[in-house]
Amino acid sequence: MRISNFLLVALCSFTITVSSCKKHLHHITSPDGAIEVAVGTDDGHVYYTVKKKGQLLLDTSFLGFQLKDGPFDHGFEITHITHRSFSDRWEQIWGEELTVENNYREMQVDLQEASGKSRKLRVVFRVFDDGLGFRYEFPEQPNLQEFVILDERTEFNFAANNQAWSIPYGSNYYEALYTRRTLHELDTVCTPLTIQTTDSIFMALHEANLTDYAAMNVMSDGKTNRLKVFLTPWSNGDKVRTQAPSVTPWRTLVIADSAGELVLSRLMLNLNEPSKIKDTSWLRPGRYMGIWWDMHMGRYTWEVGPKHGATTENTKRYLDFASKHGFSGVLVEGWNTGWENDWTQEGDQFNFTAAYPDFDIEDVTSYAKRKGVVLIGHHETGGAVGNYEQQVDSAFAWYQKHGVSIVKTGYVSPLLDGVERHSSQYGVRHFRKVIETAAKYQIMIDNHEPVMPTGLQRTYPNLMTQEGVRGQEWDAWDPAGGNPPDHTTIIPFTRGLAGPMDFTPGTFDFENPIYPQTRVETTLAKQLALSVVLYSPLQMASDRLESYERFPDAFSFITSCPASWAETLVPHAAIGTHITVARKDRASDDWYIGSITNGEARQLTLPLDFLDDNVPYQLTIYRDGPQADYERNPYDYVIEERDVDATQTLTLHLARGGGAALRFHPLSP
């Protein structure tokens, strides 16, 4: 929604007609003047450069396409240049802060082939104080109607061989460990790609508003700093099938002076369209739990049988516990027919309105309503999207009839329908269809095995959260032993930049009877802190009920922690070593902090100047105990209370693989 009191639209707009632009540069700067983008042509090839405070970040980087009927990347003349400025502030329905500043300067570059078909192309640049985005537009024209893109020749030619954190292209569902390499050492990698220069400028390369297009990856030639776009292809090699008029997603580059500023950038959201859902009253963030971890531990099964988890009786047990502890929902996986078969090979046997005999949907949802808890539905497709699309309308209508307003979707198969990649245009089209259909039935979506998020939650805020990350489930069955301690100190600066992630923190049980060599490699206090550090408006407490009953005092932090925030700060940030995140509750004046470290113990100093002046607060801190260690003693934690105010400074002692979770509650005078 817009806040009219702050609306300052189209501060200036003017057009320049260009008669001859060869090697003539056109410039645009950010509103604060720090970031400068220059655009020009070199022998008919269009290129751009990027500087910050005079320092070159991107050298000559060429633009264009290879179409099925030939190249569309040279022979251009710049015919018009249009400049525009925009300033606005908009309110998030849910998110990491209440309001978002959206201030940019825009330059529209109109291109036309000087000979031949005289086809037209437009490149639009928007430059913000924290980075830039640009996209291509294909105007309606007689010589470019339906066409196929075989290659997008967009380049990002970095000025130095910087360090970068990435995961390989082809990682199933983006569930891989991020590694640090130089640009020269990269192969083909997914975005977001996070980059640090030698003089500590941080950049994040990604995309925004991925609509009816293939997801962007980038590839290196292994010799230079020049990265080129690699679009996820269809199975026949086509990248994008489209027609004019149309636009591409925005190619985005966040530019920051610290790692913490990367986390706070909302550039990607600003490059998506405002909400298309007019009535948003049914969109409710919350914390939930589920019949889930016991399946990974082998105590329950998804399929019907003697150890079936999704029974009416067991679901009511979870609903009772959730109601007692203030959770908004309970996820139930394995309730519908189809799990009894080898669904990873034959996902098309799933029926999304047929329950197993031991699960009574009407009884369960009526009971949930009486308890004030929402049943969270589950649609595992096994990647058979054709089967799912045939049922999706009736399945969502069936859920709506029974009062189910949240659905977790899953696509556990490397290829959709056994043919196409998740991040291909085929997959992008399917995921959008599901989101739009869900909105029609007022259903919120938690999408697992997705295409990498690109800020679409602004336009469709029922897309609450997504996976696309190596989450906590890997701590149950990973043959290599589980997520290493530094994993959660990296993903806030990489995958987390793409949007909310359903990592599912909150595991208290560090024993694994099925795979003894695999375990959660954190302390219990760090598990609490992850509820604040890793953002999701639908935040799952991952463990079984019995684990939480063992540690009720520690569990109280999870049950009190909100899932939507009014303000977010990052007091400490170093990629791969530690991060501290402070968030203010939307529904109160309480502040919550999560601070975590990698496999090394460390001490951090935390000034409390973010608190309101002249207001006393009660601080409850859940921290690692003196003997805490993620390998030797993960259960050692201490809970303390004291009164504090904005003038004070805390010292946080984080154990190896540890953390601290803090709650500040203002006291009445």
* Catalytically active residues, by annotation: 473
Query: How big is the CA angle at 540 (ends 176 and 399), to the nearest 5 degrees?
Result: 105
The CA distance from 485 to 274, in Å, is 38
Q: What is the per-residue DSSP string for 370-425?
A: HHT-EEEEEEE-TT-HHHHHHHHHHHHHHHHHTT--EEEEE--SSSBTTTB-TTSH
- C-beta of residue 48 within 8 angstroms of C-beta of residue 154: no
Q: How does strand 329-332 pair with strand 286-291?
A: parallel
Give the containing element (helix H, strand E) for 351: none
Give the containing element (helix H, strand E) for 524: helix 524-533
The residues near 306 (Cβ < 8 Å, ≥ 6 apart) are none
**DSSP assignment letter at 271:** T
For 531-570, the three-class secondary structure string (H helix, E strand, C coil) is: HHHCCCCEEECCCCHHHHHHCHHHHHHHHHCCCCEEEEEE
The number of beta carbons lying within 10 Å of the beta carbon of residue 599 is: 16
Q: What is the largest CA-CA distance in the chain?
A: 78
Per-residue tokens: 343: 């669904």
The CA distance from 283 to 406, in Å, is 9
Per-residue tokens: 179: 């590694």
Q: How does strand 193-196 pair with strand 163-166?
A: antiparallel
Q: Could you give the count of Cα atoms lying within 13 Å of 262 in the half-sphere of its Cβ?
A: 31
**DSSP assignment letter at 638:** E
Give the containing element (helix H, strand E) for 99: strand 99-113
Q: How does strand 444-447 pair with strand 99-113?
A: unpaired
Per-residue tokens: 379: 């649609």
Cα→Cα distances 253→158, 186, 206, 381, 443, Å: 11, 18, 7, 34, 32
Per-residue burial over 209-231, b if 16 or more Cβ lie within 10 Å, else e, is bbbebbbbbbebeeeebbbbbbb
Report the Cα–Cα distance between both ends of the chain, in Å, rounded: 36
For 215-246, the three-class secondary structure string (H helix, E strand, C coil) is: CEEEEECCCCCEEEEEECCCCCCCCEEEECCE
Q: How does strand 76-91 pair with strand 13-17?
A: antiparallel
Per-residue tokens: 162: 């910087």
